Amino acid sequence: MNNKYLKRSKISEPKFRELVRLFSLDIDAHNISLLTHLNRNTVNRYLYSIRKRISSFCEEESPFHGEIEVDESYFGGKRIKGKRGRGAASKTPVFGILQRGGKVYTEIVPNCAKATLQAIIRGRVDPESVIHSDSWRGYNGLVDLGYKKHYRVQHGKNEFVKGKSHINGIESFWSFAKRRLMKFHGIPNSTFYLHLKESEFRFNYGKQNIYKILLKIIRNKPLF
């Protein structure tokens, strides 16, 4: 079957475009299956492949420059009394970089140690950038690494904005991503990365035509 978006197509191009359109509207697999009359397993297979294309596309978003916000957040796991944030047990740590007026980039990390976070910053952020962060010790020494300026807010002292210094932008992404992911009622570790990158993509391109962007991405590199 002729379909420029799929290498070995078993569905028509109009049917596939409809699937992509529904996905772009953030409709879940169950309802896409009902609306397209496609088997649920078939829909899941296509959505998995689309998310892989999205993830690859997002990984190309660098370098970041200008006014940059950095922060970490924790996803999933069970909350244990007395354990929050960086000390939370059984949660997945995610590091984020946001360029003010631009895009966000996220990366799952093994820990939030200085060496881990600063290796990502060096690889993704232009040295001429101004960096904004909270007071986490993992950000100590960024100016010594060659970054132009580094401003910090002291969240532990209830300081969230200090002049132009804040990390409200990246924190708005964390809220957006966690709110989105709640609708799945739990995501396996094996696919969390793909869902995280999808949230990143939707946050970055939410004011544009996501449907057309997805078709272009897939047309450039057809599925399967």
Answering whether pTM is above 0.85, one says yes
CATH 3.30.420.10 fits 67-175, yes or no: yes
* Per-residue pLDDT tens digits for 64-113: 999 999 999 999 865 445 444 455 667 899 999 999 999 999 999 999 99
Note the pLDDT of residue 151. 94
* Per-residue pLDDT tens digits for 159-170: 567 677 899 999
* Per-residue pLDDT tens digits for 174-218: 999 999 999 887 888 899 999 999 999 999 999 999 999 999 999
Tally of residues, the chain: 224
Q: Which residue intervals of the chain bear CATH 3.30.420.10? A: 67-175
